[in-house]
Amino acid sequence: MAKPKTQYVCQNCGYISAGYLGRCPNCGTWNSLVEETVATGPKPAPRTTTAGTKIQPQRLDQVSITKEERVTTELGELNRVLGGGVVPGSLILIGGDPGIGKSTLLLQVSGYLARTGGKVLYVSGEESASQIKMRASRLGVEDSGMYLYPETDMPSIKQAISDMAPQYVVIDSVQTMNVPDMNAAVGSVSQIREVTAELMKIAKTEQITIFIVGHVTKEGAIAGPKILEHMVDTVLYFEGDMHHTYRMLRSVKNRFGSTNEIGIFEMHESGLTEVANPSELFLDERLEGATGSAVVVSMEGTRPILVEIQALLTPTMYGNAKRTSSGVDHNKVSLIIAVLEKRANLMLQNQDAYLKATGGVRLVEPAIDLAMAMALASSYRDVGIAATDCFVGELGLTGEVRRVNRIEDRIREAAKLGFKRIFVPKNNLQGFTARDKIEVIGVASVAEALHKVFD
């Protein structure tokens, strides 16, 4: 009988060491290596298809293409993020902060799928069946016909899936599942990797769609090894501010669709509801005539969203000026301020700067640069921007306003919401004629934009 092998595995990145180390040499995390025993056994059998035939190498021109038929849910925002619907046999990972609504979302989706004739098995390792029933009653899906299974033992879960043959399985959550044959703690890197591998095999061989809930670390990343995200087909992050009722479902990996889409929901007592027009939502409480406020038309995937960016500049009380941001990148704030100082002659080095994107939304695309600059200039000069003006454009370090993509969709969305003027990069106007009732003003530099807005 072979002697069991002992190794030390980093619980943050999955690095394996033969001996104990206080600090992981791969990710630099302290006290993250945990001793685990590796069971030695016979080599696994060759992988086979569902028909039992051994998989053989094929020439590329001999591979047949089958179109994946998607299953749409009643949540159109979820369909958008998934690329048009749920693909049978896919493995979908959903991560998010505790209490953000991951279980609520999946319980609603399970109810919708069960009502349309699909057999759904909801496996929970964190709640009892009665707790799930109470939430289902609140969400209005208690009579959907789904099956509940409070279990954490993977062999038992595999047997239940084999006996029921469901079309959809929900695992809540992957960190609570365990494989008894492994001598490792529940939630460790080895357990998560093995559980995910088992679920992936079930999804691909039986064509069962599996939704997995994943916990996140304090840094916001999904807990466990990064290989977990590589193994699944789709990775979704459920984001939101705990002090707001709005939630955003963002795709960061999708083998069956775009990774730029977001879905926006509003949390109510009866569950999550879709937000059909997020632009009106983010601009609903805007004060007319307020200084330090500018509206940007940001693209989130294929959807244009109008968001208010607010800036506040105050004289610093210390030697170094403070830069604080919420919803926008902190480094981008410093970059925009440096461009305004050098290219627009605004003395901001002795000003504390506070910037935020309202509504709890997080903006990451470069096209928000011009609106950030206008909001900062408005606060510095204490002059308001017209409520019917909005901005689109990326700023370069020489002060130029660079072109952005999908300018027609941005202009159309701004016109639909009643804006009268939109400032865009001048190069975006080449070969473009505005057909909407909105004045399109092209600017080549940030200095030109400041002149046309304030002078």
What confidence category does residue 51 fall into, taking pLDDT thresholds of 50, 70 and 90?
A: very low
Please indicate whether residue 48 or residue 433 has the higher confidence score (pLDDT).
433
* Range of lowest pLDDT (42-46, 275-279, 387-391, 411-415): 42-46
Residue by residue, what is the 3-state secondary structure of 390-416?
A: EECCEECCCCEEECCCCHHHHHHHHHH
Ramachandran sector of residue 18 (left: φ over 0; alpha: ψ -120 to 50; beta: rest): alpha
Architecture of domain 280-454: 2-Layer Sandwich (3.30)
Residue 244 has pLDDT above 90, yes or no: no
Confidence of residue 348 (pLDDT cuts 50, 70, 90): very high
**Nearest C-alpha neighbor of 168 from the set 124, 113, 220:** 113
CATH 3.40.50.300 assigned to 72-276 = yes
CA pair distance 97, 110, nearest whole angstrom: 21
DSSP 198: H
The number of beta carbons lying within 10 Å of the beta carbon of residue 88 is 16
Beta strands in 64-218 (DSSP E): 91-96, 120-124, 147-150, 168-172, 209-214
Give the pLDDT score at 184: 78
Chain segment 282-312, per-residue pLDDT in tens = 787 788 788 999 999 999 877 899 999 999 9
Nearest to 238 by CA among 256, 198, 211: 211
What is the per-residue pLDDT across 13-41, written as a single tens digit (0 to 9) for each?
778 888 888 898 988 888 888 887 766 55
DSSP-assigned letter for residue 178? B
From its phi and psi, is residue 156 left (phi > 0), alpha (psi between -120 and 50) or beta?
alpha
C-alpha 219/C-alpha 197 separation (Å) is 25
Q: Which residue has the higher pLDDT, 138 or 260?
A: 138
The model's pLDDT over 141-179, given as tens digits with 9 standing for 90+, comes to: 988 899 999 999 999 999 999 999 999 999 998 989 999
Please state the domain extents for the chain.
5-38, 72-276, 280-454
* Structure-model confidence comparison of residues 105 and 69, the more confident one: 105
Pick from 253, 220, 11: nearest CA to 98: 220
Mean pLDDT across 92-111 = 91
Domains 72-276 and 280-454 share a fold: no
Distance CA 201, CA 207 (A): 10
Nearest CA to 402 among 410, 411, 393? 393
